[in-house]
Amino acid sequence: MTVEANSAPKDRVRIFDTTLRDGEQSPGATMTHAEKLEIAQLLDEMGVDIIEAGFPIASEGDFEAVRDIAKLSRDATICGLARANLTDIDRCWEAVKEARSPRIHTFIGTSPLHRAIPNLTMDEMAERIHQTVTHARNLCDNVQWSPMDATRTEWDYLKRVVEIAIKAGATTINIPDTVGYTAPVESADLIRRLIAEVEGGEDVIFATHCHNDLGLATANALAAVAGGARQIECTINGLGERAGNTALEEVVMAMRVRGDIMPFTTGIDTTKIMNISRRVATVSGFQVQPNKAIVGKNAFAHESGIHQDGMLKNAETFEIMRPADIGLAETSLVMGKHSGRAALRAKLKDLGYELGDNQLKDVFVRFKALADRKKEVYDEDLIALMTDAAMEA
Ligand code: KIV
Ligand code: ZN
């Protein structure tokens, strides 16, 4: 058995962040060297287990970023990506080798469509996998192997190549849903079957790497964990090619909030989520949609009267997490045409106005008229409204 497979309790899920590799591959998301170092440091500080820092053969810049992230790493394992050839793997090792804990991640597309690209027969590809994983393992004792497009690879062939990679020394087997094609029930079954039927399957860590083309990446990743995967590959804000990757903040908070049915732990300090989400949005230029789960601007905002009233009485009425759990100062009660009297009274109190019932009645009418003309009523609007009301009184 490998040391890594057994060093953590069975319910501990490793978080493998690929914001700097798969995330940065999104068209237009390129980050500078300094930005990559900053994000890697934030990931390390928040408790990410493995940081995939880049694809060292892709460019001199990528190589230097992975090398410098490796040198500066603190607790996280630093991983680089390499295609299934010796030159890529050597370059990857050069970049990661100074990390306190380095990892080489090598991959090849194994589905019929992907096999057609290098024009290899099934046997030739199997031989290539044996040769490249053996080479990587001779350089580094922490090797991850991925059959790209695993979820569209024939079962018999997938089983065969995973066994070859394990025998050649891979310590983590990642099962990518490269095109976001799989469904949660299949995701769980595939991992369960691999662990049960692949020779040596119980001795390695199985990882799940999901893309979000059908909006199923988070569900598929969590289903894979239910099936036995113990590493989730993900990115901050779900950044990634096309519709993106599994969002780190979603899987981590889902396991935390629903520990009753997903009894798994991670090493993530969730109070650091909001800060890193904002930094990744800024440096990548990919703004987070307002209704994005966990980190969207509206994720902890309430406008309707019923919701605001409920929130003022007991936050648990409409919130399943506390804003502080992800590092947000407080819930925001957005003042708009759906807001009710209780929220207006509370908001005005915050702004220093204590109103009697009759006064509130009058101000509420003015507020509703204003809210009908404006999407959102800001603090300054309310102050102006109170000044007008005072002048007319
Ligand atoms: O989506 C994918 O298949 C990948 C591999 C390189 C792991 O990103
Ligand atoms: Zn990917």
| Per-residue pLDDT reduced to its tens digit, 111-152 | 999 999 998 999 999 999 999 999 999 999 999 999 999 999
CA of 231 to the centre of ligand 2 (A): 14
User: For residue 286, what pLDDT band results from cuts at 50, 70 and 90?
Assistant: very high
Which of 12-16, 25-29, 148-152 bottoms out in mean pLDDT, i.e. has the lowest?
A: 25-29
DSSP secondary structure, 269-310, as one string: -GGGHHHHHHHHHHHH--PPPTT-TTTSTTTTEE-SHHHHHH
Beta bridge partners of 332: 301
**Average pLDDT, rounded, for the chain:** 94
CA of 178 to the centre of ligand 2 (A): 5
pLDDT at 25 over 50: yes
Helix (H) or strand (E) holding 364: helix 357-373
CA of 165 to the centre of ligand 2 (A): 19
ipTM: 0.99
What is the position in ligand 1's atom list of the atom closest to the CA of 148? Answer: 3
For 191-200, what is each residue's pLDDT tens digit? Answer: 999 999 999 9
Beta bridge partners of 245: 211
Ligand nearest to the CA of 58: 1
pLDDT at position 386, please? Answer: 87
Higher pLDDT, 23 or 314: 23
pLDDT at position 316, please? Answer: 84
For 257-283, what is each residue's pLDDT tens digit? Answer: 999 999 999 999 999 999 999 999 999
3-state secondary structure 129-156: HHHHHHHHHHHCCCEEEEEECHHHCCHH
For 103, other C-beta atoms within 10 Å of its C-beta total 24
For 82-114, what is each residue's pLDDT tens digit? Answer: 999 999 999 999 999 999 999 999 999 999 999
- d(Cα 225, Cα 217) in Å, to the nearest integer? 12
Give the dihedral sign, CA 111/115/121/123: negative
**Ligand 1 and 337: CB distance under 6 A:** no
Q: Which amino acid is at 7?
A: S
- Closest among 94, 125, 124 to 108, alpha carbons compared: 125
Residue of minimum CA distance from atom 5 in ligand 1: 148
Give the dihedral sign, CA 153/169/59/48: positive
Tokens 């603090």 correspond to what residue? 379
Residue 245 in marked binding region: yes
Helix (H) or strand (E) holding 50: strand 50-54
Q: Angle at CA 243, nearest 5°, toward 95 and 42?
A: 45
Helix (H) or strand (E) holding 231: strand 231-234
Residue 105 in marked binding region: no
pLDDT at position 6, please? Answer: 46
**Ligand 1 and 36: CB distance under 6 A:** no
- d(Cα 390, Cα 393) in Å, to the nearest integer? 5
Ligand nearest to the CA of 207: 1
CA of 135 to the centre of ligand 1 (A): 20
Residue of minimum CA distance from atom 8 in ligand 1: 22
**Ligand 1 and 146: CB distance under 6 A:** yes
**Ligand 1 and 284: CB distance under 6 A:** no
Q: Find the radius of gyration of the CA atoms of the chain.
A: 25
CA of 58 to the centre of ligand 2 (A): 15
**Ligand 1 and 80: CB distance under 6 A:** no
